[in-house]
Structure 1
């Protein structure tokens, strides 16, 4: 069975995935945020399956304009839960793929920080994982 996602569905998935990487970079503060964002985004681009195709499209990722980490989290965490709900409903076989893709991107990004992830990044990864698992 071929799954067809509409443009809004695709934007939700991209916003959630790239938003998670952006949120992790924001949590890093002044400590290597660009490296975290770059490494995490590269990891997202290595996704396969339907998720990989959607993330590889050069389209919008929604409006990620938080002035603080808290404002960004207010956008991204619900988007992660919504993305998982959407996939569980429309493409259940892809839900686990999306979850693992996002978590690998976060781990890859966190490893880019000199000295390892540290407590702030570890806590943000926990919050993102909770949002993924809330669906």
Structure 2
């Protein structure tokens, strides 16, 4: 089996100039954990995940102070948090996205894709054909395929 036989071809994506808030809404609405980020020409330029957003929120929600006893975490004032979160949600996606998404070709064997996911500890790969985004394969896709075809 190869990528084009396993991939999801209807890919939910987001433009690099969209806001983090819009990305969060798409992630929530479609119950997905990551979105490919495209430029104005529709080329894949990055990926934004729920983990990226969660890390940014955690960094904004807490300040680390070093004392004589080592680091301690202090939650910041709620009003400051509201201001920070509004600023964060209005940032463009390209400010928070990972810029090196993992990609494969439509003819890449599924075994190679599974190996890539394990070696790189990633949850999704994007399928490109002539630099155009044509699909996505997630860890869950691979697991479902294995369950159906093994044993």
Q: TM-score range by the shorter chain?
A: under 0.3
Structure (1/2) with the larger strand percentage: 2
Q: Where is the helix percentage greater, Structure 1 or Structure 2? A: 1
Structure showing greater relative contact order (alpha-carbon pairs closer than 8 Å, 6 or more residues apart): 1
TM-score (norm 2): 0.25
